[in-house]
Amino acid sequence: MNYEAVIGLEVHAQLLTNSKIFCGCPVAFGGEPNSRVCPICLGMPGVLPVLNRRAVEYTIRMALAVDGRVAETSAFARKNYFYPDLPKGYQISQYDRAGEPISLDGGIEIEGEDGPRFVRLRRIHLEEEAGKSIHSEPGYDPDLSYIDFNRTGVPLMEIVSEPDIRSPREASAYLARLRQILQYIGVCDGNMDEGSLRCDANVSIRKPGDPLGELVEIKNMNSMRSMERALEFEIERQADLLDDGGRVVRQTRLWNEEERETFPMRSKEEAHDYRYFPDPDLVTVEIARSWVDEIGEDLPELPDVRMQRFVEDYGLPQDMARQLTENRARADYFEACVGQVAGDASGEAASQDSGEASGKAAGDARTVSNWMLSELLRVQHENRMDQQTLEERIPPDHLAQLLGQIKEGKISGKIGKDVLDVMAESGKAPASVIEEQGLVQISDTGELEGVVDGILAEHPDDVADYRAGKTKLLGFFMGQVMRATQGKANPKLVNELLRKKLAEG
Ligand code: ADP
Ligand code: MG
Ligand code: ZN
């Protein structure tokens, strides 16, 4: 039987605030266990939480980026459950009903299975992170369980979609898009390895046209790959169940990456299980329209808009523009590099660390783009550098200078690639690499003439053949000269010299 998958995601994004959501404890990954805690995030009796304004601001920022409707008033509720990593016995969150979450509605467009798909959002709300239980990890007694409250109270933004996603691949595309937007607007680093972006997936299947089926919630997936695999497994499991005349039970299942399967954790809880009620310690938040407008004005250019601008302003093909704007750091690098090229053209921003004047009008956006998407990615990959290390080793102005050297004819494009390798390893400016390694292109006619004469003298038969009409041999002679000069000969000059000399005889 053919079924249609129906998927809705609940994504938790850890916000890049300095402090926790209801106290002043710092937010940072790792750290000595229980070193970033206070009576408030430890849930001691009698303490009072105070809402972090920045956390609300970041949530509004996200809401605006996805066309959400920002609430005029928003409120917090207690979600009651017992767990050792939850010291208060309840989590401060926001309940589902209108008037409570910071944002309702909105949505994002993704590349769907058959064309663009719009995934509607249900809501975006704020809540606090729980602590971390540690069982049998290296460095801990395997007979004991430990608890680290450093994470407790870290602000989480939960983005809940409508069940508009139709395949595991679309779920990945959706998550990737959310992550891209979160990173662009600077509210979450999107790091799934460190858990700053996490996702629960709800999935059901149905015969096309039928009402929605019973859903299963899957937790514990910590990469896009594992989310896709978990969904694929679960869709198949549900299909087998229905095919065998069974029915899907509403439950929460955990993904096991080693076994590549989901297994039941608990029957899916209902809202009333949590005994939600308004948190009496926190006042209702009134969100002034003027504040929302202010945040909107400061919103950075979003990936789609930026991509379109790259196409229009720099004349780049769409797919190139898409790759360049895939993350903000790369897009910023590109624009810095192109800007540097333009700066060189006006004679301002010459290379400073080499003390040498670098290329003027070093090339256009297309050249920068070509180099970034092939050579720069190559050296980044080969040297296992993250974006930050890459930018430290090869800052945008260095790449601009390198392209300038090539454009000026100081080195060939081929040698340029070797220079880039050395730059990636050493962090040196291109001019110093070229100088130290003696890579400057030989454009001295006298010097090249000597080499050309030598090559022609070594191959009298080929010279004769050429003169008898086998002009294709020009390539052979070129190759010989290049080899003799370790690729440093100026190809244009060599070409001219060869033609001249071969014609002379
Ligand atoms: P809540 O958890 O707030 O009570 P739901 O369980 O209805 O709300 O929805 C949670 C998530 O499950 C949402 O992302 C929603 O899109 C998704 N969802 C709801 N119904 C289905 C369904 N039948 N199949 C797949 N996903 C669903
Ligand atoms: Mg839920
Ligand atoms: Zn604290």
Residue with tokens 């400016």: 429
Q: Which of 329, 391, 14, 334 is nearest to 180 (CA)?
A: 329
* 10 CA distance to ligand 2 middle (Å): 7
Q: Give the torsion through C-alpha atoms of 183, 382, 378, 436, to 10 deg.
A: 110
Look at residue 350 and tell me whether its pLDDT is greater than 60: no
Q: Is any ligand 1 atom within 6 A of the Cβ of residue 96?
A: yes
CA–CA distance, 296 with 319 (Å, rounded to integer): 28
Question: Domain extents for the chain?
Answer: 7-295, 303-436, 445-504
- The total of other beta-carbon atoms located within 10 Å of residue 212's CB is 11
pLDDT for residue 363? 43
Mutate to test the pocket of ligand 1, among 198, 200, 202 (most ligand atoms within 8 A of CB): 202
Q: Is any ligand 1 atom within 6 A of the Cβ of residue 4?
A: no
Q: Is any ligand 1 atom within 6 A of the Cβ of residue 161?
A: yes
- State the average pLDDT for the chain: 91
Q: Is any ligand 1 atom within 6 A of the Cβ of residue 480?
A: no
Look at residue 40 and tell me whether its pLDDT is greater than 50: yes
**pLDDT grade for 216, boundaries at 50, 70 and 90:** very high
Q: Is any ligand 1 atom within 6 A of the Cβ of residue 283?
A: no
pLDDT for residue 83? 92
> What's the average model confidence in pLDDT over 310-332?
93
pLDDT for residue 359? 35
* 199 CA distance to ligand 1 middle (Å): 13
Q: Is any ligand 1 atom within 6 A of the Cβ of residue 10?
A: yes
* 96 CA distance to ligand 2 middle (Å): 9
CA–CA distance, 161 with 151 (Å, rounded to integer): 25
**Which atom of ligand 1 lies nearest, measured to the CA of 204?**
24
Mutate to test the pocket of ligand 1, among 158, 215, 217 (most ligand atoms within 8 A of CB): 215
Q: Is any ligand 1 atom within 6 A of the Cβ of residue 93?
A: no
What digits encode the pLDDT tens for the residues 448-490? 899 999 999 999 999 999 999 998 999 999 999 988 888 888 8
Question: Which residues contact residue 321 at a Cβ distance below 8 angstroms, ignoring those fewer than 6 apart?
Answer: 307, 308, 310, 311, 314
- The answer to whether 87 touches 62, Cβ cutoff 8 Å, is no
Of the chain, the percentage scoring pLDDT greater than 90 comes to 76
Helix (H) or strand (E) holding 264: strand 261-267
Q: Is any ligand 1 atom within 6 A of the Cβ of residue 262?
A: no
What digits encode the pLDDT tens for the residues 64-78? 999 999 999 999 999
What digits encode the pLDDT tens for the residues 4-18? 999 999 999 999 999
The residue among 209 and 97 whose pLDDT is bigger is 209
* 56 CA distance to ligand 3 middle (Å): 18
CA–CA distance, 144 with 84 (Å, rounded to integer): 13
pLDDT for residue 446? 85
**Which atom of ligand 1 lies nearest, measured to the CA of 214?**
23
Look at residue 352 and tell me whether its pLDDT is greater than 60: no
- Phi and psi (nearest 5°) for 458? -75, -20
pLDDT for residue 98? 62
Q: Counting ligands in written order, which one lies closest to the CA of residue 8?
A: 1
* 274 CA distance to ligand 1 middle (Å): 17
**pLDDT grade for 362, boundaries at 50, 70 and 90:** very low
- The answer to whether 129 touches 188, Cβ cutoff 8 Å, is no
Q: Atom 3, ligand 1: which residue's CA is nearest? A: 96
The residue among 355 and 153 whose pLDDT is bigger is 153
Tokens found for residue 279: 């948190």
- Phi and psi (nearest 5°) for 108? -135, 155
Look at residue 346 and tell me whether its pLDDT is greater than 50: no
Q: Is any ligand 1 atom within 6 A of the Cβ of residue 101?
A: no
- Alpha-carbon separation of residue 184 from 138, 181, 301, 339 (angstroms): 36, 5, 8, 20
* 270 CA distance to ligand 2 middle (Å): 9
pLDDT for residue 493? 87
CA–CA distance, 221 with 231 (Å, rounded to integer): 10
**pLDDT grade for 96, boundaries at 50, 70 and 90:** confident
In eight-state DSSP terms, residue 373 is I
pLDDT for residue 361? 33
CATH number of 445-504: 1.10.10.410
**Which atom of ligand 1 lies nearest, measured to the CA of 268?**
6
pLDDT for residue 137? 86
Q: Counting ligands in written order, which one lies closest to the CA of residue 216?
A: 1
Look at residue 356 and tell me whether its pLDDT is greater than 90: no
- Give residue 470's Cα distance to chain centre: 54
Q: Is any ligand 1 atom within 6 A of the Cβ of residue 496?
A: no
pLDDT for residue 244? 95
**Which atom of ligand 1 lies nearest, measured to the CA of 162?**
16
Tokens found for residue 473: 């041999």
Look at residue 436 and tell me whether its pLDDT is greater than 90: no
CA–CA distance, 20 with 5 (Å, rounded to integer): 38
- The answer to whether 401 touches 430, Cβ cutoff 8 Å, is yes
Q: Is any ligand 1 atom within 6 A of the Cβ of residue 210?
A: no
Residue with tokens 């969100």: 287
* 264 CA distance to ligand 1 middle (Å): 18
Give pTM, 2 decimals.
Answer: 0.83
* 220 CA distance to ligand 1 middle (Å): 17
Residue with tokens 């910590």: 222
* 99 CA distance to ligand 3 middle (Å): 28
